[in-house]
Amino acid sequence: MATLLYVESSPRKRRSASIEVAQAFLAAYRRLHPGDTIDTLDVWTTPMPEFDGSTLDAKYAGLTGVERTPEQAAAWARLGALAGRFRAADKLLFSIPMWNFAIPYKLKHLIDVVSQKDLLFTFDERGLNGLLGGKKALAILARGVEPAPDWDHQRGYMDLWFKMVGVTDVANIFVEKTLYGPDVDGASRAAAKAEAEALAARF
């Protein structure tokens, strides 16, 4: 049995293209992997620690080898609990709308707080060493337009983050041109859902 962590990052919920495709994937995945556990992390309802004050001090205490105060240790433990959900998962699923050619700020907040030394990566004389090696990931990327490559900071950011934390087995499903009217939107969603359902069989 495996654990799949599903990170949901659109606040639109039932109107969201990325969530609609993700739910099609999850329905197929549950049928094909009935013994697996699915852990859902909704960035809009999950409390996110602010990265300031004791949390920031705790980071630099760890980097410099200084013992953390009880307050700093408690702040770091909150980050560790979130990062632990990534380490505990065997597979990662993200549903991500494009906002200003990048990712929603709530998803960036999550990534910023969990992507810390000794939580999701380490570094030494060899360089940066991700701690999520051996996991596979799927990113469902919804975009109202088809962005030019140099404008696409949604896929680029996620690709870089996966490399940073050691995930090399990454698939992407695109739901594009969702702002081009209901016919184009519907066709794009249908094609992406069919691709997602097929991928669930080998994920």
Q: How far is CA 42 from CA 34, 95, 106, 187, in A?
A: 22, 10, 10, 26
Question: What was the pLDDT predicted at 6?
Answer: 98
Contact 17, 103 (CB under 8 A): no
Percent above pLDDT 90 for the chain? 95
**pLDDT band at residue 5 under the 50/70/90 scheme:** very high
Distance CA(38)–CA(91), nearest Å, equals: 9
- Whose structure tokens read 């999850």? 26
* Mean pLDDT of the region 163-174: 98
Residues with Cβ within 8 Å of residue 199, at least 6 apart in sequence: 25, 138, 171, 173
The torsion of the CA quartet 107, 118, 93, 177, rounded to 10 degrees, works out to 40
Choose among 193, 202, 201: nearest CA to 17.
193
Distance CA(81)–CA(174), nearest Å, equals: 31
Residues with Cβ within 8 Å of residue 53, at least 6 apart in sequence: 75
Structure tokens given for 34: 């009935």
Q: What is the CATH number of domain 3-54+82-200?
A: 3.40.50.360
Question: What was the pLDDT predicted at 54?
Answer: 92
Average pLDDT of the chain to the nearest whole number: 96
Question: What was the pLDDT predicted at 115?
Answer: 97
Structure tokens given for 108: 């960036």
Residues with Cβ within 8 Å of residue 50, at least 6 apart in sequence: none
**pLDDT band at residue 120 under the 50/70/90 scheme:** very high
Question: What was the pLDDT predicted at 126?
Answer: 83
Residue type, 85: R
Question: What was the pLDDT predicted at 35?
Answer: 96
- Whose structure tokens read 């999550």? 110
Report pLDDT digits (tens) over 33-66.
999 999 999 999 999 999 999 999 999 999 999 9
Structure tokens given for 178: 């969702």
- The pairing of beta strand 37-42 with beta strand 3-8: parallel
- The edge-to-edge listing of strands for the beta sheet with 3-8 is 37-42, 3-8, 91-97, 136-142, 169-175
* Mean pLDDT of the region 136-147: 96
Residues with Cβ within 8 Å of residue 32, at least 6 apart in sequence: 200, 201
**pLDDT band at residue 70 under the 50/70/90 scheme:** very high
How many residues would you count in the chain?
A: 203
Does pLDDT of 125 surpass 90? no
Is the pLDDT higher at 65 or at 98? 98
